[in-house]
Structure 1
Amino acid sequence: MRTDDFDYALPDELIAQEPAAERDRCRLLVMDRATGEVEDRIFRDIVDYLRPGDLLVANETRVMPARLLGAKRGTGGAAEVFLLRECAGPEPRTNRVAFWEVLVRPGKRLKPGAGAVVDFADGAGNVVLSAEIIDWARNGQRGERVARLITPLPSLDEALHAVGHTPLPPYIKDYAGDEELYQTVYSRRESSAAAPTAGLHFTSQLIERLCDQGVGWATVELEVGLDTFRIVDEEDPEKHVIHTEFYTVPQATVDAVAAARAAGGRVIAVGTTSVRSLESAWDSAANGGAGALVPRDREATSLYILPGYRFHVVDALITNFHVPRSTLMMLVSAFSTRESVMAAYEHAVAERYRLLSFGDAMFLH
């Protein structure tokens, strides 16, 4: 197995630069995971493939307003700070002060120990948030820094929503539409730097229709990081060190999976992040060694799913089309076969599907 096995020609013009006009009117490529046979449908046709007793499990995380555009204090030069994750700092966290691991631009002018501070102003020109670059992040691989965030407003949350922007993937250029369209309709707690994009195609009405049809709905939470877009550089994918993310599988979802299994239904993951959450929560030592899904509360996972992986929880998968040579291509290939998945991608390209985060969807069953 080589990383090149998961490469494909991705025409730039097929990278969707904006969402579908209607969430559930995007295209849906349906693939039989056993035979590789494909059908071309519309996403709302998913109702034709789900049965009473099936269970959909979706990642309900919401994208943070993590992209901050401001000016370097003292020079006024343009600067960008991208929030990655909150971390411990040299002083206690308060409503107005917190420490975050961040990416910055321009990196050469925002070095720790140089007194670098970036100020962020609201629409009225008032500085409502500042970021002081105080240290290098531990185990950082992309020049991550630690920033001390401080605001004069009652809370950092208020400040972030006053000046922050929803970040978009690097391959989406100049999108100026509604940032809410990069959030799922069921999203809740802001904890991700990128959206679980397979869920973008669901509308509240479609979810209600599926529930009326007897399909269950449950949620997990996985805090999606920017490394989800990272391609694998190593020739041997097994030598790649996958990123770590935090996930939660509540007891209610564990119970819903058990109920679906008892009723003969399938567990259908909405997106690869839901797959990683459910499969990470499988405990092979539980249930007398027979294995069982167990609840998890913001635990770390570095689960790396490659072809040959045995799925313990997930029976079917709704997903978007992914970047070539990525760990997500490998995960999807593990859910069927590499040959079938690559053939499906060739079909999608030939049929001019819209690809990647704002693009069309696949259903592997």
Structure 2
Amino acid sequence: MRLDDFDFDLPEELIATRPARPRSSARLLVAAGDAIHDGTVTDLVDWLRPGDRLVLNDTRVIPARLSGTRTRPGAAGEGTARIEVTLLEPGTDGTWRALVKPLKKLREGEEVRFAAGLSAVLEARDEGQAVLRFNLAGAAFDAALAEAGAMPLPPYIAQRRAADAQDREDYQTVWAARPGAVAAPTASLHFDAPLLARLKARGVTFTHVTLHVGAGTFLPVKVEDVTRHRMHAEWGEVSEAAAAEIAATRAAGGRIVPVGTTALRLLETAARDTGAVVPWQGETDIFIYPGFTFRAADALMTNFHLPKSTLMMLVSAFLGPERIRRVYAHAVAERYRFFSYGDASLLLP
């Protein structure tokens, strides 16, 4: 499999920079059998059956983008410099891995100061990333980050506009609970309280799992032979209660429908050993591309993904490469909105 197998032409104007309002008014493409249906996210009530179970990622996006300054006293020609930081993941020793721009301007041991009394010292460099130690920890760190940080919008949005106060609501699911993600589980952004109530009344049930989405989800694939690509690892958990709910739904003949590729990747990780979703906790770097055998998911709700991305490979595996090409050609022709703030699809193999 070559990288070009997952390429397609996407007009730039189809990249969404703001979400639909209300959330559930976004468009929904349903691929069922050989047919493609156009509707809105509210139509989920008609496509899902009583006894189906939606699996929802309850990760919470942290305001991981920071802008600060470093001052190098006495350094001729250096003075004060602006430093942009995007937090990636916490270390077990209290440090944070981060992307820093410009990293080459920062020396080990040097301090960067942000707003809200927050500062960080560069402890090390590792494969182009920074290892930072902040002056605050625990609740004090969380409070300062909430004040000083901005939502880490994906590059294809950040290149077009800066994050603002509205993104703190828009780029967060209505059920977000466990802080730790630096990117949103974007298919879940289409749900609001009225839609959830209608689905519940329909007899659809819900299970929450956690996968802390990392910035690596936006990293480009750089190898031509996609089977050689190595995924970034992300922390996730399927609780005992979640595994039991999924097993009960399967036993009763209901379908398991992950909302988003993050929930799907986590379920498939938890089902690798036994073929059934079991309680699981840890880091997963599962890479799903055509030829993968799915064990956990019966359908998938997801947004429209970037050309040549690992997520494009995942949906190609789920629906089949030829079918997904037809789906994406239809989405482009019908002017669906793409990527994180874009429209949604429901894929029924």
Please indicate the TM-score interval, normalised by the length of the shorter structure: over 0.9
- The answer for the alignment partner of 1:2 in structure 2 is 2
Shift of 1:272: 0.3
CA contact (8 A) 1:231 1:323 kept: no
Secondary structure of the structure 1 residue equivalent to 2:42: helix
Distance 1:283 1:309 in 2: 11
Structure-1-length-normalised TM-score: 0.89
Q: How many residues align?
A: 338
CA contact (8 A) 1:231 1:324 kept: no
Distance 2:339 2:232 in 1: 20
Pairs within 5 Å for 1:137-286 = 137=126, 140=127, 143-151=128-136, 155-172=140-157, 173-175=160-162, 176=164, 178-179=166-167, 180-284=169-273, 286=274
Distance 2:220 2:125 in 1: 24
Shift of 1:72: 1.0
Aligned-pair identity in percent equals 47
State whether structure 2 residue 57 is matched by structure 1 residue 50.
no
1:268-293 residue CA offsets vs partner (Å, 9 max, x unmatched): 01000000000000143x4xxxx332
Shift of 1:77: 1.7
Pairs within 5 Å for 1:47-196 = 47-74=45-72, 75-89=79-93, 98-112=94-108, 115-122=109-116, 128-137=117-126, 140=127, 143-151=128-136, 155-172=140-157, 173-175=160-162, 176=164, 178-179=166-167, 180-196=169-185
- The answer for the alignment partner of 2:76 in structure 1 is none
CA contact (8 A) 1:220 1:250 kept: yes
Shift of 1:73: 2.8
Unaligned stretches of 5+ in structure 2? 73-78
Runs of 4+ in 1 over 2 A off after TM superposition: 73-76, 151-154
Distance 1:108 1:9 in 2: 36
Amino acid at match of 1:117: E
Structure-2-length-normalised TM-score: 0.93
Distance 2:104 2:309 in 1: 29
Unaligned stretches of 5+ in structure 1? 90-97, 123-127
CA contact (8 A) 1:88 1:99 kept: yes
Amino acid at match of 2:301: I
CA contact (8 A) 2:60 2:180 kept: yes
CA contact (8 A) 2:59 2:210 kept: yes
- The answer for the alignment partner of 1:363 in structure 2 is 346
Pairs within 5 Å for 1:280-319 = 280-284=269-273, 286=274, 291-297=275-281, 299-319=282-302
Structure 1 residues 21 and 154: CA distance shift in structure 2, 3 A: closer
Secondary structure of the structure 2 residue equivalent to 1:205: helix
Distance 1:15 1:251 in 2: 39
